[in-house]
Structures are given as structure tokens and as C-alpha cells.
Structure 1
Amino acid sequence: MSSRTLSSVAVVTVTYNSSTIIAEFLASVRDSEETPPPVWVIDNDSSDWRETEVIALSFGAHFQNLGENRGYGGAVNAAVHSLPSDITAVLISNPDLTVATRAISTLVAALVEAPTSAAAGPRVLNPDGSVYPSARNQPSLRTGIGHALFSGIWPGNPWSRTYRQELPTFESSRREVGWLSGACLAVDRDAFSAVGGFDEDFFMYFEDVELGRRFLHNGYTNLYVPSASVTHLGAHSTRSNSAQMITAHHDSAYLFLSKRYSGPLYAPLRLALRIALRVRAGWQSVRTR
């Protein structure tokens, strides 16, 4: 495990048509620490990348247009690979959030205090101040199916509560979890590289679940650190394409489960999951119209 201090941390954020929101994010990073960490803005070849570049450079951030859309995980991997060798920890973040005071240093301190930790995630707040369940268990077959089938019509069902780790101490309890939301998490660079970074088979969604699974499989831990907080303003780049995003989410859910339950013996299960997820995606798409 590499030596981690705030002086060896970089922030990586992936943009896609984010020119209207990136300034607020960069300002929050600048104001979050007495000596703010360097920021790399990686654009997935969006139509407004030149505007995003101007804003990023005005905050002293590094900017790169990838020239193609590699998805969230692919863009993060490219950025982490290109960071200077003295960077040992990386805060991976969406651009549609704001970082609270000392959130970054708090996450880095948590990584230092827990030598086996590969990732540390903050408490994620919604714009209304409520807590988004950003630290969850790895989905088992039972909890995954129960959550998928009932979360929309029975939000308080026991499978969703177990999966989301909705505990009375959720807001205040630092603990090891199955995975952390990719919207914002700090990772140890060596551990991230050791497991291969994000799985680029996932273009969007579930790349964070899969990363958490591989961290655990390789003997690392994922640490939820609620004393650090960020406010997530929402899925800015996907808001106007909700039907397509619902389909993408369910496709990624199937990909994750098919990787976890691979092999010929699980073929009937994978077929059933594919059918069930397609039906659920169609039902949710109709509801959004």
C-alpha cells in the first residue's frame, strides 16, 4: 500500500456536456482545503468540450479531451494512468456535485488509518439535505432480485434495505462496505491499478459495484466515511435521456450478474435474469413518459 498524504492526491472528474456545472465543482474543490489538490478534467468528447476546457483552465485544472466517448470507467482509467508518478491517491468524482470543507483530506486520512482500505467514500447528500445511500452491500442473487423487483413499488422492502445498508447509524457510522458510489470516492492508486481499474466492459453504471467486488476479492476493503460529505446535484449528463439511461442501467445490471454467475450451469439463471431485467426496464421507461 502506497504512502498517502494530501500532497500526493489528485482529483479526477469526467465531463460530458458539463460546461454549465463544472465551475461550481471546481470552486468547491478549490475551497475545500487550505492547499487544494490538483485537478484533472477528462472530457468524453462532448459537444461543449471547448467551453469546458476554458473553464477548467481558468481554475488551474489540467484538461484533456479524449477524442472519443470511453464511458465513465474508461475515462477515469485513462486519467489515472496519465497522472504523475508521485500521485498515490485519487479522488474520483462526478462534476455535478460540490465538495464540503476538508472532505478530501478526511477521506485520505481514513485511507491512511486503515492500511487494507483501497477506497474511501463520503456521505453523499441530496440537494434537499437528505442522505443518499452511497455505501451498499455487494448484491447477492436474493437481495439483487428482491431490490430489482420491489424497489419501485415497495421502497421499504427488506431486500432493498439490506442492499442499501439502510441502518439507523447510516449517517454517522464509519464502516467497511461492499461497494461505494462512483459519484465520489477516494482510491489508493496502487490498489486501483492492481485490480485493473474500472472494468471498461461497463460503459455506464455498475462499474463502481464491480470495482468494489474486485477490491474485496483481492483482500482490500471499501470504507464508508460519513465525516466527509459532498452534495450531489443529480445526473446532469443523463437527465435528458432518461429512457436510454434506464435501458443502460438494466443492461449493466445484467452484465454484472452475468459476470458473477458465469459458466454453463448458470445459463438458465442468466436467461431468466435477462428477461426479468428487460421487462423491468420497459416498465420503468413507460413510467417516465
Structure 2
Amino acid sequence: MVIVDYYTREHTLALIADLAGQGFHSAIVVDNTGDSEYRQGWASLPPWARLIASAKRAGFGAGVNLGAAQLTGCDILLVLNSDIRLISGDLVVLAAELLDRRVGVLAPRIVDRDGVSQSDAAGPFLTLGAPDRKQVPRTGWVTGACFLTPVELFCRVGGFDERFFMYWEDVDYCRRLADLGFAADVSAAACVMHVSGASELSRAARYTRASRSRDLYLRKWNFVLPVRIAYRLMSLLKLLWLRRASV
């Protein structure tokens, strides 16, 4: 498994404790800060969790790729945000289900702090403005906050596209697998809580990053220019609203 940390050590250690409770005793923690001083604070990391430090601040996808490159003898890659907490079920069961169903990506049910299913944890691929809507896969995407995928497939498509600094790298990954015939799905065998935005407290900052990544996704998959412009204008309007609301 690969856990990406960005100034969220407390969350990472809590997640590792949850994983140990489910019998996991092997993990790669990617310190994605590029901060040598922060790197010195991992003394409480258990010996079975290997620390990999990024030389510079890198995006989430780049952090996952860095950690995945260090995996040996694994058939399944478990990707985790540091601010995930295990609620119920068993991720080991999800791993067996992934292989049995032969899907490309499998995620647990993801809820927020109030126990409500997160609406942005999975969804269909965008079709409006796509160059050929008939060719857009019917299967959708799941969030990279917590999912399992075969290592062979991850390597075959080159992992996450590191041009996505944060957000939409998961949608892009699922889209590339869907084009190969591998679907993404959510399983009821496990449930996790996602403390969204633990590493970036500003809603405006998160939304700005998400908007940039969405624009990159639309350009990469050749969505028509009017649709891309419309999304960008909507993003600017919402960003103005978020900034006014935070004053």
C-alpha cells in the first residue's frame, strides 16, 4: 500500500494504527512535503512502515507513483490519502473481490465525518463536449482517496499522470483503464471515513486546484473549446463566491 502525506502526520499515524488493526504490516509512507525539517519527525512510525521522502513538493499522483515504484512482490496496489480512517469491513476482502470481479479499480464506500456518503467519491465520466460521446466509456470513476488496483494495470498505463498536481488524476486514471476495458466500482465490503482537506484548510485553495486539474482533464481528452470555456467561467464565479464567503 502507498500512503501519501503532506503535513498530515497525525492523520497518517492514526491510519497506520487502523491498518495494523486489520492485520496489515507493510506500507510505504511518502512524505510529499520536500521539507527536510518535517522529515525528521517520523520517529514514531512503526518499523513495518517504510518512509520515502520526496525531494520536492510533488502532487498527489507523483507521490503515489514514487511509492508504487518501491513496491516488490505485490499484485495489488492500495492507494490511501493520509486523512482516511477505517470504519467498518475489511480492505483485505476488497482485495479478493477486486481479483474475483476482474475490475480495474475497486473502492470502499467513503463517508464524511458525519457518516454521510461523499457525493464526490465516485461518478460517471463527463460526456458533454466530448469529441465523440458514443466512445466515452459507460463505466465511471472512483476517488483516489482510497482504492485498490492491480499493480500490473497500474504499471501498464504508467501510473498516475503527474501533470495533475492534485484532483482529477483519479478520474483520468480510471478513464485510461476504462478504455482498456477495465471498469471502476464501489464495494459495500468496507467503509472508510475521509477527512477531506486535511492538508489544505482553505476551500478556495482546494477549489482552485480542482478547477485547474479539471481544465487539464478536459484538454487532455479533447473536449470542445466552448465547454472548456464554460467550465472555466463557472469556476471563476464560484471562486469569487468562496472568497467573499471567507471574508
CA-CA distance at 1:197 after TM superposition: 1.0
Partner residue in 2 for 1:163: none
TM-score relative to the length of structure 1: 0.76
Match of residue 3, structure 2, among 10, 13, 16: 13
- CA-based RMSD of the aligned residues comes to 2.1
Partner residue in 1 for 2:124: 137
Q: Which string of whole-angstrom CA distances, capped at 9 and with x for unpartnered residues, describes residues 83-141 of structure 1?
A: 11x111011001112124552112101111112x1111000122222221322111222
**Aligned partners of 1:121 and 1:225 also within 8 Å:** yes
Matches within 5 A, 1:57-136: 58=46, 60-84=48-72, 86-100=73-87, 102-115=89-102, 117-133=103-119, 134-136=121-123
CA-CA distance at 1:267 after TM superposition: 3.3
Match of residue 228, structure 2, among 270, 274, 281: 270
Match of residue 226, structure 1, among 188, 194, 197: 188
**Aligned partners of 2:139 and 2:178 also within 8 Å:** no
Amino acid corresponding to residue 88 of structure 1 in structure 2: D
In structure 2, the CA distance between the partners of 1:68 and 1:114, relative to structure 1 (3 Å rule), is: same
CA-CA distance at 1:268 after TM superposition: 4.0
Q: Which string of whole-angstrom CA distances, capped at 9 and with x for unpartnered residues, describes residues 239-260 of structure 1?
A: 1x33222211111111111222
**Aligned partners of 2:197 and 2:206 also within 8 Å:** no
Aligned partners of 2:139 and 2:195: how far apart in 1?
24
Aligned partners of 1:79 and 1:254: how far apart in 2?
27
Aligned partners of 2:155 and 2:147: how far apart in 1?
15
Amino acid corresponding to residue 287 of structure 1 in structure 2: A
State whether structure 2 residue 218 is matched by structure 1 residue 257. Answer: yes
Q: How many residues align?
A: 237
Aligned partners of 2:177 and 2:222: how far apart in 1?
18
Match of residue 192, structure 1, among 147, 150, 154: 154
TM-score relative to the length of structure 2: 0.88
Partner residue in 2 for 1:8: none
CA-CA distance at 1:59 after TM superposition: 5.2
Match of residue 176, structure 2, among 210, 214, 233: 214
Match of residue 248, structure 1, among 209, 214, 235: 209
**Aligned partners of 1:26 and 1:59 also within 8 Å:** no
Q: What runs of 5+ residues in structure 1 fail to find an aligned partner?
A: 1-10, 143-175
In structure 2, the CA distance between the partners of 1:98 and 1:267, relative to structure 1 (3 Å rule), is: closer
Q: What runs of 5+ residues in structure 2 fail to find an aligned partner?
A: 130-137
Amino acid corresponding to residue 281 of structure 1 in structure 2: L
Q: Percent identity?
A: 26
In structure 2, the CA distance between the partners of 1:270 and 1:113, relative to structure 1 (3 Å rule), is: same
Amino acid corresponding to residue 8 of structure 2 in structure 1: S
Partner residue in 1 for 2:135: none
**Which structure has more helix as a fraction of its residues?**
1
**Aligned partners of 1:32 and 1:99 also within 8 Å:** no
Aligned partners of 1:39 and 1:221: how far apart in 2?
26
Partner residue in 1 for 2:144: 182
